[in-house]
Structure 1
Amino acid sequence: MIGISEIDSAAERIAAHVVRTPTVPSPGLSALLGAPVTAKLELLQRTGSFKARGATAKLLSLSEAERAAGVVAVSGGNHGIALAVMAAALEVKATVVMPRSAPARSLRIAEESGASLRLTDGMDEAFATAARLRDEGLTLVHPFDDPVVIAGQGTVGLEFAQDAGPLTDVLVSVGGGGLIAGVATALRALRPGVRVWGVETEGAEALSRALAAGGPVPVALSSVVTTLSAPAVSELTYEHAAALVEEVLVVPDAEAVRGCLELAEHAKVWAEPAAGCLLPAARQVRERVGADARLGLVVCGGNATTGDIMAWADRFGLL
Structure 2
Amino acid sequence: MIGITEIEAAAERIAGHVVRTPTVPSPGLSALLEVPVTAKLELLQRTGSFKARGATAKLLSLTDAERAAGVVAVSGGNHGIAVAVMAAALDVKATVVMPRSAPPRSVETAEEAGASVRLTDDMDGAFALVTRLQDEGLTLVHPFADPEVIAGQGTVGLEFAEDAGELTDVLVSIGGGGLIAGVAAALRARRPDLRIWGVETEGAEAMSRALAAGGPVPVALSSIVTTLSAPAVSQLTYDHVAAQVEEVLVVPDREAVEGSLVLAEHAKLWTEPAAGCLLPAARRVVERVGGGARIGLVVCGGNATAADMTAWAARFGLR
TM-score normalised by length of structure 1 = 1.00
Moved over 2 A (4+): none
Q: In the aligned structure 1, how far is the partner of 2:275 from the partner of 2:255?
A: 11
Quote the residue 2:181 is aligned against: 181
Offset of residue 151 of structure 1: 0.1
Quote the residue 1:204 is aligned against: 204
Quote the residue 1:5 is aligned against: 5
Offset of residue 252 of structure 1: 0.3
Quote the residue 2:45 is aligned against: 45
Q: In the aligned structure 2, how far is the partner of 1:163 from the partner of 1:135?
A: 43
- Counterpart of 1:88 in 2: which secondary structure? helix
Consecutive unaligned residues of structure 2, counting only runs of 5 or more, are: none
Quote the residue 2:270 is aligned against: 270
* Identity %, equivalent residues: 83
Q: In the aligned structure 1, how far is the partner of 2:31 from the partner of 2:278?
A: 16
- 1:1-319 alignment runs, 5 A limit: 1-319=1-319
Q: Deviations over 1:4-59 (max 9, x none)?
A: 00000000000110000000000000011111000000000000000000000000
- Counterpart of 1:47 in 2: which secondary structure? helix
- The CA RMSD measured in Å over matched residues stands at 0.3
Q: In the aligned structure 1, how far is the partner of 2:26 from the partner of 2:245?
A: 24
TM-score normalised by length of structure 2 = 1.00
Q: In the aligned structure 2, how far is the partner of 1:276 from the partner of 1:136?
A: 39
Offset of residue 135 of structure 1: 1.1
Counterpart of 1:314, as a letter, is A
Q: In the aligned structure 1, how far is the partner of 2:104 from the partner of 2:32?
A: 32
Offset of residue 310 of structure 1: 1.0
Q: Deviations over 1:175-226 (max 9, x none)?
A: 0000000000000100000010000000000000000100000000000000
Q: In the aligned structure 2, how far is the partner of 1:110 from the partner of 1:265?
A: 30
Counterpart of 2:313, as a letter, is A
- Count of equivalent residues: 319
Q: In the aligned structure 2, how far is the partner of 1:202 from the partner of 1:133?
A: 31
Offset of residue 251 of structure 1: 0.5
Offset of residue 127 of structure 1: 0.6
Counterpart of 2:187, as a letter, is L
- Counterpart of 2:101 in 1: which secondary structure? coil
- Counterpart of 1:72 in 2: which secondary structure? strand
Q: Deviations over 1:107-154 (max 9, x none)?
A: 000001000000000000001111110111000000000000000000
Q: Deviations over 1:68-116 (max 9, x none)?
A: 0000000000000000000000000000000010000000000010000
Q: Deviations over 1:264-312 (max 9, x none)?
A: 0000010000000000000000000101100000000000001101110
Q: In the aligned structure 2, how far is the partner of 1:239 from the partner of 1:246?
A: 13
Counterpart of 2:186, as a letter, is A
